[in-house]
Amino acid sequence: MPSFIGAIDNGTTSSRFLIFDENGNLVIGHQLEYRQIFPHPGWVEQDPMDILGSVLACIEGALRKFELQGNNVKNLRGIGITNQRETAVAWDRTTGQPLHNAIVWSDTRTQDVVRQLCDSSEKGTDALKDICGLPLTTYFSAVKLRWLLENSPEVKEAHDNGNMMFGTVDSWLIYNLTGGKEGGVHVTDVTNASRTMLMDIKTLEWSDECLKFFGINADILPEIKPSSTLFGNVQHPDLDHLKGVPIAGCLGDQHAALVGQHCFQVGEAKNTYGTGCFMLFNTGTEITPSNNGLLTTVGYQFEGEPAAYALEGSIAVAGSAVKWLRDNMGIIREAEEINDLAAQVDSNGGVVFVTAFSGLFAPYWRPDVRGCIFGISQHTTKHHLARATLEATCFQTRAILDAMNADSGYALKTLRVDGGLSNSDLCMQLQSNILGLEVSRPQMRESTALGAATAAGVHLGIGIWKGGFKAFAERARESKEVLQIFTPQINDEERKKEYELWQKAIERCLSC
């Protein structure tokens, strides 16, 4: 009988459940958007029950389609989970109910908290960088938890009396899927834990020093596990047909894409163009500190294997800038229209769009900066603005890649890409032009979900992909995957001129 692996993919604005066959081919999937909550400027929240509800509905929808194809749900051997990362969730240990809305990774309400924490340490933003690999910024989960402890009486009381559970979205989902208040397990994996500012990236355990720095009790945190291991078995009352199915894979979404793109060798990198844009560069088993504004993070860890580390560059706004053109400005009706609009001009007409809606992430780390559009003239049309919107992500990717080359000592030859914006041929051609490198796009674009499915499928208890991780990585290295390659179509002089214009725009934003 054929075997299948399911993947829960919880993104920033939607959830999906996808099913893959034994060859890693996508069989079927179901996707649903869920509510975003914006209480104040810069605040981004989600109801954890909405997140859970969307996941359950996606599982039901995908399984219904799966059976209509003539497949048997009993042949679903395991499930992997991938999730938006730094989003922080706090819930009650007794009732299993959320204590507060989840604070999303892009939320910037914690600027004052960050400032106070930086002032409390002689090292400023690098107060904990030697331990956790991360700078103090609004981005990470521990800062959001600190804000909750200072501003939510319910969270503070539950924390102090030991009745609170805390985690990123993966922990919240696994807890509920494995039974919730009726015995649900409280776990996370090393990739998600590495985004909290609370884990020692050397020992892969919660750091007493980091916990003390933020004033957080250790008993509220989940157990840290490898990315591919048994996390628990499905016991949710609404998923009777999946009862007992093992959850055997878990990675933060960008780490899952690293696995899904088979970036298992030192020096290989992928860039995922989603709501934000995130480049991960595999540095192997060596921890590589950054001197150029990047993050040092865990790439992945398979059971029985040492952790693989990565350098990461994070861009806060990518696909969300296209949504802004659609929802706020009304320039397009559907996101896909941006390609046709931008393709009607052969340049940006001198327009540069710094899409700093949530500040600037790597390598600048300026949460106070806001978006700016430069170079507008009477000649400017919506076509130039559309092109400048696509170019904004490409230019920021160039800044990140320059930093990665400097930190790692490797000169990247090819950038592997995935995510929504990577479906745009124009955007990927612009990316190749701006980088001066080959951009490689796989035929199967669901890299994030495939990474989660891979983590579950190579687990020896599931055994869909025989021989564990090492055997899988070797087969991936030797495979003849169908790729579409974009090569630069401008010369170095043109590339330099365009990038210098972008750098001038950044300098103006940073000085405002």
Largest CA distance in the chain: 65
- The CATH number that applies at residue 342 is 3.30.420.40
Residue 306 lies in a domain: no
pLDDT score, position 481: 66
pLDDT score, position 24: 81
Give the count of domains, the chain.
1
Residue 288 lies in a domain: no
Q: What is the DSSP letter of 20?
A: E
Count helices and strands in the chain by DSSP H and E runs: 16, 23
pLDDT score, position 4: 92
pLDDT score, position 471: 64
Residue 498 lies in a domain: yes
Residue 434 lies in a domain: no
Burial group, residue 5, by CB count within 10 angstroms (0-12, 13-18, 19+): buried
pLDDT score, position 63: 95
Contact of 71 with 143, CB cutoff 8 Å: no
φ, ψ for residue 21, nearest 5 deg: -90, -175
Residue 335 lies in a domain: yes
Residue 338 lies in a domain: yes
The predicted model scores a pTM of 0.86
Contacting residues for 298 by C-beta, under 8 A, at least 6 apart = 190, 191, 193, 194, 201, 204, 255, 307, 308, 309, 310
Return the number of other C-beta atoms located less than 10 Å from residue 236's C-beta. Answer: 19
Residue 339 lies in a domain: yes
pLDDT score, position 477: 59
Residue 471 lies in a domain: no
Q: Look up the domain containing 336 and give its range.
A: 319-400+493-511
Q: Each residue of 365-396: b (16+ CB within 10 Å) or e?
A: bebebebebbbeeeebeebbbbbbbbbbbbbb
Query: At 378, is the secondary structure helix, strand, or coil?
Result: coil
Contact of 138 with 110, CB cutoff 8 Å: yes
Q: Which residues of the chain have pLDDT under 70?
A: 460-464, 466-482
d(CA 216, CA 68): 49
* Residue of 206, 172, 201 lying closest to 186 (CA atoms): 172
d(CA 113, CA 297): 23
pLDDT score, position 191: 97
Number of residues that this document lists for the chain: 512
d(CA 27, CA 69): 9
Handedness of CA 68, 70, 74, 78 (dihedral sign): negative
d(CA 473, CA 320): 33
Contact of 426 with 295, CB cutoff 8 Å: no
Contacting residues for 255 by C-beta, under 8 A, at least 6 apart = 191, 227, 280, 297, 298, 299, 300, 310, 451
- String of DSSP letters for 241-309: GGTT-EEEEEEEHHHHHHHHTT--STT-EEEEESSSEEEEEEEETS----SSS-EEEEEE-BTTSPPEE
Express each pLDDT in 148-160 by its tens digit: 999 999 999 999 9
Contacting residues for 158 by C-beta, under 8 A, at least 6 apart = 90, 92, 93, 99, 164
Whether the ω angle into residue 363 lies within 30 degrees of 0, i.e. cis, is yes
d(CA 77, CA 377): 59
H/E run at residue 509: helix 492-511
Express each pLDDT in 339-390 by its tens digit: 888 889 988 888 998 888 877 877 887 878 888 888 888 889 989 999 999 9
